[in-house]
Structure 1
Amino acid sequence: MPAFAIRGVIEGFYGPPWSHGQRLALMDFLAGHGYNLYVYAPKDDPYHRERWREPYPPSQLNELRELAARARSVGVAFCFAVSPGLSLRYADDTELDRLWAKLEPLVQAGVTHVGLFFDDIPPHLVHPEDQARFPSLAEAQAHVVQRLLERLGPLQPQTGEGTLPAVRLLFCPTQYHGDPDTPYLRRLGELLPREVAVFWTGPQVCSRELTVDHTRAVARILGRPPLFWDNYPVNDSMMATELHLGPYTGRDPGLWQAAQGVVLNPMPQYTASRWILAAASTYLTRPETYEPQAAWERTWRAVAESLGRDREAVAQALLHFAQANLESPLHPGPPEAYTEPIEAFLQAPPEEKLLRAPELEALFQRISREHALLGVVLPEETRRELGPWLEEYGRWAAIGLQALRVLEAVLQAVWAPMVEGGGAASPTERLSAARRERERLRELLQESLTFRTRVLGDGIRNLAVRIFQVSGLFVR
């Protein structure tokens, strides 16, 4: 019996929404990994947020109906969410009629959960008529919830297989993280009916840790266990240069005893999101025995198995690529597997640097080989999705190797003794070669200023810049 009652995924990111085909495939994936809820809430679907009053065009409405049917067929609850808070006039009954007109066709189509989201809006009433009618934002939002529940309460959508469970309401407050002991949240806790589930992201918008103590403090204010909207592996907004491929960590094993459930917010990158959702599913179903690193490494073996060739090599290549993309709210700071050997090289005394250079060369050569391997074995759609990160992963390896070539060329030009034999290069030739290698490094560093991702952090850049600067003392 899974520990968390609700184990879900919310398509709630800013950026290009997933395709209909991806969502249909996701339902099978969710069912196969123990998830039981999907929440449709893409911020960049205009009909979800800015144009919430407008009905969906028939083609999109049919897609949502098909998605609801697919979810129902595999035992996944489908929640359709709407975010009207940017422009909703809470005191206007016609506005609430429009809200219901938006939701009713979807509920009739078999959507079993409805989301009413007021996140990322002004934290106060804006319209004069709302200010005149309601003492606070909490009262205004609770009023909308009550009116919506009146419409949803008696509704039991009929299907060919019988009657579905009663439609449930999921609510996202305007304050959804931080210290819960605020007048807004206390009032919401008093006014919202107990059957309404309330989303919460934790101490931060993207919380590094979720603890039982914090969760119980939130529950006391809200008058119910919160439902975590867990912003991982999402990488939208200021995080768009990152690809969050690290293990799912920082979640208390006993969290299920204090929360209604956990709903993870993925990335616009669909395939990469599924990789992390697969690893995290073990926590949602068996949190007390969950081992993040082991679950994470199993995921790469499973992906390699599905690709069907060079399984061990591909699993290692995926693991190393994921290590290069650890940087995230759960894993702040650069990826240590790459930065530590570089930092050890930079901090070493001059006489030790030559001894450490082969280690770095082997690392950069491995990145280059595995970059080429992933470019062959990954499906074309996945290569397109991960394109900027994959490309720059390989280009940073080339920059690292070029930096080591500069180091070697400078040593040859300045300190190396003449090679015995008539074919040995002259000092002038060695100096010219060092200048050419240094100029090539300068070109590569200049190109790196146009890179779009945070793959590998700043380690190789720091190494290359340091070697370029120091080499300039000897080669001009």
Structure 2
Amino acid sequence: MTPELGIIEGFFGRPWSWEARAQVVRFLAPHGYGFFLYAPKADPFLRRRWREPHPEAELAAIARLAAQCRDAAVRFGVGLTPFELHLAPEGDWRGALRAKLDTLSGIGIDDLAILFDDMRGDVEGLAGIQAEIVDFAASRGIASRLLCCPSYYSDDPVLDRAFGRRPEGYLETLGRLLDPAVEIMWTGEEVCSREFSPGHLERVAETIRRRPFLWDNYPVNDGAIMSQHLHLRAFTGRPAAIGPLVAAHGINTASQPLLSLIPALTLAASYEQGTDYRYGAAFRAAATAVCGEDLARRLEADLLSFQDRGLDRISNDRRAELQGIYAAFAHPAAEEVIAWLDGAYSSSGEDVQTQ
């Protein structure tokens, strides 16, 4: 069974353009991608400056994207991080949150995600504070689906090193306190999980008292380390057998929107084909559908350099040679490769702290 698939624009660094977002929605909708969650870390008004209103032009652009999603029969959602509110939940935080939610309500959203990821979490009573924030957001009734990303959204101990040791029984308490209708996001055994097994997902579901909503950190390539790589290969380690065990499966995409379409198509193929899925053939089919046959062959030839070796291990002479090769392709996906080779996507500003 194929679960609901979707796109999460939830990475650090250079965000997508509005045109690219709409293009991705239109392209993937026929392939089972039924939701788009707008949550770029670069939007300060959804994160560190969440108490401030969006500039009118930005808010209008979000509203246009919401309308474009509706036209494609795709759910549109916004990921809001009430940044560090759980560290000092005193004062009139409800008034500030109400104002932000009322603004989002005006643009029309289907999904609202309250995100507590990638900030300090070693706080006494963390689950209770966060449940209170989520419950308040739910009471505003601005979306038909409410999602929550916990502070500790994976078993990965790297989160404890980066954000403080997780409180005892944190996930169990959060799952007990949150309304069963609230979906809880999960990245797996690792922040960037190499596989999702049925046994793991069953254990997580028991802990949080609901099927997990997968936030799959592939093909994301943000941060100082991963931005040096293009994640193009087909999905593996996501067997079709996990479909009934998850509430939905969203993928956190790469910084390159068109190239992200390639692995996105292979995830849909993995669920559809089940045990007949072959990741090499899936890559070739997806790359051809996105880029055309000639460019797809070229990308396959360069997978080792782009995905495994990375930009910092490609010599300047080889970079120049590759830029010339890809310049011969009159295709926007080739332009993304050239920009990556030129360092345009290299991490800057706020990096992923878990890397």
1:168 aligns with 2:120: no
Contact 2:34/2:75 (CA < 8 Å) preserved in 1?
yes
- Alignment of structure 1 residues 52-451 onto 2, 5 Å: 52-87=50-85, 91-92=89-90, 94-125=92-123, 136-152=125-141, 167-178=144-155, 183-237=169-223, 238-305=225-292, 311=293, 313-327=294-308, 372-379=324-331, 381-387=332-338, 390=341
CA distance in structure 2 between the aligned counterparts of 1:83 and 1:204, rounded to whole angstroms: 21
The structure number with the bigger radius of gyration is 1
Aligned residue in 1 for 2:315: none
Amino acid in structure 2 at the alignment position of 1:229: W
1:349-384: CA deviation from partner (whole Å, max 9, x where unpaired): xxxxxxxxxxxxxxxx9x9998754321143x5444
CA distance in structure 2 between the aligned counterparts of 1:81 and 1:62, rounded to whole angstroms: 17
Structure 1 gap ranges (5+): 126-134, 156-165, 306-310, 328-333, 336-364, 393-451, 454-476
Q: What is the Cα deviation at residue 139 of structure 1? A: 0.3
Q: Which moved more, 1:220-229 or 1:135-144?
A: 135-144
**Distance verdict in 2 for CA 1:304–1:114, change over 3 Å:** closer
Q: What is the Cα deviation at residue 293 of structure 1? A: 1.8
CA distance in structure 2 between the aligned counterparts of 1:289 and 1:260, rounded to whole angstroms: 24
CA distance in structure 2 between the aligned counterparts of 1:261 and 1:277, rounded to whole angstroms: 14
**Distance verdict in 2 for CA 1:286–1:95, change over 3 Å:** farther
Aligned-partner SS, 1:199:
strand
Q: What is the Cα deviation at residue 279 of structure 1? A: 2.3
Structure with bigger RCO (C-alpha 8 Å, 6+ apart): 2
Aligned-partner SS, 2:140:
helix
CA distance in structure 2 between the aligned counterparts of 1:210 and 1:36, rounded to whole angstroms: 21
Contact 2:9/2:253 (CA < 8 Å) preserved in 1?
yes
Amino acid in structure 1 at the alignment position of 2:137: L
Cα RMSD (Å) of the superposition?
2.8
Aligned-partner SS, 2:203:
helix
Provide the aligned length of Structure 1 versus Structure 2.
329
Amino acid in structure 1 at the alignment position of 2:244: Q
Aligned-partner SS, 1:296:
helix
Identity %: 33
Contact 1:137/1:184 (CA < 8 Å) preserved in 2?
yes
Amino acid in structure 1 at the alignment position of 2:283: W
Contact 1:7/1:34 (CA < 8 Å) preserved in 2?
yes
1:137-192: CA deviation from partner (whole Å, max 9, x where unpaired): 0000001111111111xx5xxxxxxxxxx621010000000179951001001101
Contact 2:326/2:335 (CA < 8 Å) preserved in 1?
no
**Distance verdict in 2 for CA 1:181–1:29, change over 3 Å:** farther
Q: What is the Cα deviation at residue 52 of structure 1? A: 0.6
Q: What is the Cα deviation at residue 260 of structure 1? A: 0.9
Amino acid in structure 2 at the alignment position of 1:387: I
Contact 1:230/1:262 (CA < 8 Å) preserved in 2?
yes
Structure 2 gap ranges (5+): 157-165, 311-317, 348-355
TM-score (norm. length: structure 2): 0.84
**Distance verdict in 2 for CA 1:183–1:88, change over 3 Å:** closer
Amino acid in structure 2 at the alignment position of 1:177: S
Q: What is the Cα deviation at residue 304 of structure 1? A: 4.4
Aligned-partner SS, 2:45:
coil
1:3 aligns with 2:17: no
Aligned residue in 1 for 2:314: none
Aligned residue in 2 for 1:20: 18
1:112-151: CA deviation from partner (whole Å, max 9, x where unpaired): 11010000111133xxxxxxxxx61000000111111111
Q: What is the Cα deviation at residue 215 of structure 1? A: 0.4
Q: What is the Cα deviation at residue 100 of structure 1? A: 2.2
Amino acid in structure 2 at the alignment position of 1:240: S
1:18-47: CA deviation from partner (whole Å, max 9, x where unpaired): 111111212211212210011111011111
CA distance in structure 1 between the aligned counterparts of 2:149 and 2:84, rounded to whole angstroms: 14
Aligned-partner SS, 1:326:
helix
Contact 2:234/2:283 (CA < 8 Å) preserved in 1?
yes
